[in-house]
């Protein structure tokens, strides 16, 4: 039997794995986007707690960031998947179900990635807020702006401007963390490459293809974030 070439593997022919790899890449992007969005929401709340919260909220936020930045990401995914499965199984028994009920792998992975990403984004948002000049906020208050209007028109845009570079770094980390979600049974890009490597006996080819796809996703998304950073920094003099 003739060994398929690299172009055969990424094609749509009889030996082609192109559609399967594309599906895996789409799943990778969906996990990364979901985790990043969850992390951004958590990060905004965590930064608010650290900046404006009382001693209890600051303590909770500090404990959260310390723990999540100190635990391996893979362990967090395991905790979410098996912990969630234990809860779902216990609830199922109340309704007469028997046996193990697995927690949805995608949901467990997205939540785990989001929780770990949120710890990083908490510090990104906190640092970005600290970079906003106090005089700009004082000027808005002096103009008679309400607290909400000041936040919407002054604090949020300026904080986002300073946060975008850090958020870009967090996004790249989140994208790579999505490869760990395969342990929950989700067939994302890396898992699909493993399946292809095992089926064809061509591991180097499939992992090389996966690396190129990861690099393409990272390059395109990084370029989009840079465009957003430039747009947010319009009219700002650069040193």
In this model, does residue 189 exceed pLDDT 60? Answer: yes
Q: What is the pLDDT of residues 136-159, one digit of tens each?
A: 888 888 888 888 888 888 888 889
**Residues contacting residue 190 through CB under 8 Å, at least 6 positions apart:** 24, 28, 179, 182, 210
DSSP per residue over 4-43, as a string? PPHHHHTSSSTT--HHHHHHHHHHHHHHHHHHHHHHHHHH
End-to-end CA distance of the chain: 62
The residue ranking higher by pLDDT, 229 or 57, is 57
- 3-state SS assignment for residue 201: coil
The predicted-structure confidence for 3-50, as pLDDT tens digits, reads as follows: 777 676 777 777 778 899 999 999 999 999 999 999 999 999 999 999
The tokens describing 7, both together, are: 């172009």
pLDDT tens, position by position, 105-137: 899 999 999 999 999 999 999 999 998 888 888
Contact 154, 188 (CB under 8 A): no
pLDDT for res 41: 96
Better pLDDT: 122 or 238: 122
As a whole number of angstroms, the distance between CA 23 and CA 36 comes to 20
% residues pLDDT > 90 (the chain): 53
The class level of CATH for 17-232 reads mainly alpha
User: What is the rounded distance in angstroms from the CA atom of residue 115 to the CA atom of residue 53?
Assistant: 20
Is-contact 21 103, C-beta < 8 A? Answer: no
* 8 Å CB contact between 145 and 154: yes
- Is pLDDT above 70 for 237? no
- pLDDT score for 31: 96
Is residue 1 predicted with pLDDT exceeding 70?
Answer: no
Query: How high is the pLDDT of residue 17?
Result: 87
Res. 238 pLDDT band, cuts 50 70 90? low
In total, the chain counts a number of residues equal to 239
């Amino acid at each position: 039997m003739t060994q398929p070439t690299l172009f055969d593997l990424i094609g749509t022919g009889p030996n082609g794995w192109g559609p399967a790899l594309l599906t895996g890449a789409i799943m990778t992007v969906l996990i990364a986007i979901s985790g990043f969005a969850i992390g951004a929401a958590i990060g905004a709340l965590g930064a608010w707690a650290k900046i404006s919260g009382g001693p209890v909220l600051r303590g909770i936020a500090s404990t959260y960031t310390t723990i999540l930045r100190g635990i391996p990401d893979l362990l967090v995914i395991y905790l979410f998947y098996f912990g969630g499965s234990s809860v779902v199984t216990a609830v199922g028994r109340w309704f007469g179900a028997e046996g193990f009920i697995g927690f949805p792998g995608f949901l467990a992975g997205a939540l785990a990635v989001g929780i770990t990403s949120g710890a990083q984004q908490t510090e990104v948002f906190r640092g970005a807020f600290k970079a906003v000049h106090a005089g700009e906020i004082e000027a808005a208050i002096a103009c008679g702006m309400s607290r909400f209007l000041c936040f919407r028109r002054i604090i949020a845009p300026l904080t986002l401007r300073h946060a975008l570079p850090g958020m870009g770094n967090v996004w790249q980390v989140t994208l790579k963390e999505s490869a760990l979600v395969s342990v929950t049974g989700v067939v994302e890009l890396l898992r699909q490459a493993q399946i292809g490597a095992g089926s064809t006996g061509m591991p180097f080819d499939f992992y090389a293809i996966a690396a190129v796809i990861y690099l393409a996703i990272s390059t395109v998304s990084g370029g989009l974030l840079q465009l957003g950073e430039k747009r947010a920094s319009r009219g700002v003099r650069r040193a």
